Amino acid sequence: MSEQTKDRWPKELAYPGQEFSRDGLRITLAVDGSVMVRSRHIGHHDLGKLRHGDTCKPWIPKWKNFRSLAAQMVREGDADHLIKMNNKVIEDNKLARNAAGELLEALKQAVTSMQDSGYPNDHPVVIAAREAITKATTKPKRQR
């Protein structure tokens, strides 16, 4: 249940279960007219509000019209900053994944070096390094 709750939208949706997806972002519409964007990497963000021009009441277009409007918003660059942020996080994660083996070996050597130079086993740096090594080398338990 915890996986489902962390992935929920923060507001009530106008079209539950309907999302427009483009460039790694999912775009949907809330009942208050908010256009919301989310990604697995950057979380939830508001892109703007749809309102009637004269009354300023929320405007909820039909779903097919909203999809066209969302595509237009992406084309015109309204979500460019979010797309760039998402792509940067993805690239950073890729770089960290590629360097993970080398970083783990360097951390193991650092712990060995610290112990050889006289750091006690209960030193906070040694403890943090060992916890990081343990976290990196143990398989995470599957959550239900």
| Token duo for residue 80 | 């460019």
CA nearest to 9, candidates 53, 17, 1: 17
Q: pLDDT per residue over 48-57, tens digit each?
A: 899 988 888 8
Cα distances (angstroms) measured from residue 25 to each of 29, 83, 129: 13, 7, 35
Under DSSP, is residue 52 helix (H, G, I), strand (E, B) or coil? coil
pLDDT digits (tens, 9 = 90+) for 6-30: 457 788 888 888 889 998 899 999 9
List the domain boundaries for the chain.
2-79, 86-137
Pairwise CA distance, residues 46 & 10, whole Å: 10
Q: How high is the pLDDT of residue 36?
A: 93
Tens digits of per-residue pLDDT, 42-82?
999 999 899 988 888 888 999 889 999 999 999 999 999 99
- pTM to 2 decimal places: 0.66
